[in-house]
Copies of this chain bind each other. A is one copy, B any other.
């Protein structure tokens, strides 16, 4: 089932590893073979595809164009393979997901578990990273489905869905704020605060709001782990901020209380986008999972916004 010329595959490996020798190790061939295929390819195209540095290879402009083409080819080959496989009733393949941390608590594990319950031979690869890295991973063809805070996405990505969740404060059950229905940012800042570091997207959601306030006290704790922030809040160390999506079902251990955040009378939204490479048709098992993901996130969006209706 490998009917594409070696040049294509070698080029792809070199682009991913950034080195001919590393690509050769990956492909289990001699580095000279890889080098020659790249040289031949550059001769065919009539222009260098890589810039040679002492520490490896970097794509040129033409190289990036070819990379796009090769990615389209290889990803479409995957789809073809899955088409043929599903013809004989066998659904198998790997769904590769890049997402932000908020999803790991319950959305993804629940979905993957239930999906694997029905389709045992569909495997999953999930990698957690920052929002902009998610988009980059998709562009580089390292993931099939991306879930990230909805930034302005590049034109070669397609936003499959956009779901919005309320941002809220997370406090321990015994916290003075815990009995309120909603809280404002000012009310939270009267207490010790566990703040996200800039590498988390919550930082960029809250920062402009905090900047508007007259007083901006020092955050008691700064962290880049949602898990850590949640556990700290549960121990009463301070007030953390999250979408409910990121903290999972609170009912499991009722140590934590989620309080929707109000800013000037209106909710603070966190927009979650689901992304896919635009120039691509997904294999059917990937498409199927994607649909479930969109449905599930839509369901959660509905449920949570019903549980904490907007204050008018």
Chain A 36-70: CB-based contact to B (< 8 A → 1; otherwise 0): 00001100111100000000000001100110110
Complex Cα spacing A279 to B282, Å: 10
- What residues on B are CB-neighbors of A41 within 8 Å? 3
Complex Cα spacing A80 to B8, Å: 14
Complex Cα spacing A90 to B4, Å: 29
Residues on A close to B: CB < 8 A? 1-5, 7-8, 40-41, 44-47, 61-62, 65-66, 68-69, 72-73, 76-77, 79-80, 83-84, 87, 278-279, 281
Given A1-B45, A73-B73, 15 more A-B residue pairs with CB atoms under 8 Å apart are A1-B44, A2-B44, A3-B40, A3-B41, A3-B45, A4-B8, A5-B5, A62-B87, A65-B80, A65-B83, A65-B84, A65-B87, A66-B80, A69-B77, A72-B72
- What residues on B are CB-neighbors of A77 within 8 Å? 69
**Which residue among A2, A79, A80 has the maximum number of chain B CB atoms within 10 Å of its CB?**
A80
Task: Assess A84 versus B4: contact at CB under 8 Å? Given A69-B79, A76-B73.
Answer: no
**Which residue among A46, A69, A279, A281 has the maximum number of chain B CB atoms within 10 Å of its CB?**
A69
Please tell me if the beta carbons of B5 and A84 are within 8 angstroms of each other in the complex: no
- What residues on B are CB-neighbors of A7 within 8 Å? 3
Complex Cα spacing A163 to B122, Å: 43
Write the chain B residue with the least CB distance to A72: B76
Complex Cα spacing A73 to B45, Å: 16
Write the chain B residue with the least CB distance to A68: B80
A-B contacts, 19 listed (Cβ < 8 Å): A1-B45, A3-B40, A3-B41, A4-B4, A5-B5, A47-B84, A61-B87, A62-B84, A65-B80, A65-B83, A66-B80, A68-B80, A69-B77, A69-B79, A72-B73, A72-B281, A73-B73, A278-B281, A279-B281
Complex Cα spacing A213 to B192, Å: 81
Write the chain B residue with the least CB distance to A6: B5
Q: Tell me the minimal C-beta distance from A125 to chain B in angstroms.
A: 23
- What residues on B are CB-neighbors of A45 within 8 Å? 1, 3, 84
Complex Cα spacing A46 to B66, Å: 29
Complex Cα spacing A4 to B68, Å: 15
Q: Tell me the minimal C-beta distance from A215 to chain B in angstroms.
A: 52
Complex Cα spacing A66 to B79, Å: 10
Complex Cα spacing A5 to B5, Å: 5
Please tell me if the beta carbons of B65 and A69 are within 8 angstroms of each other in the complex: no
- What residues on B are CB-neighbors of A66 within 8 Å? 80
Write the chain B residue with the least CB distance to A82: B65
Complex Cα spacing A69 to B72, Å: 10
Complex Cα spacing A255 to B87, Å: 60
- What residues on B are CB-neighbors of A8 within 8 Å? 3-4
**Shortest beta-carbon contacts, A-B, top 6:** A69-B80, A5-B5, A65-B83, A72-B76, A3-B7, A279-B281
Q: Tell me the minimal C-beta distance from A40 to chain B in angstroms.
A: 8
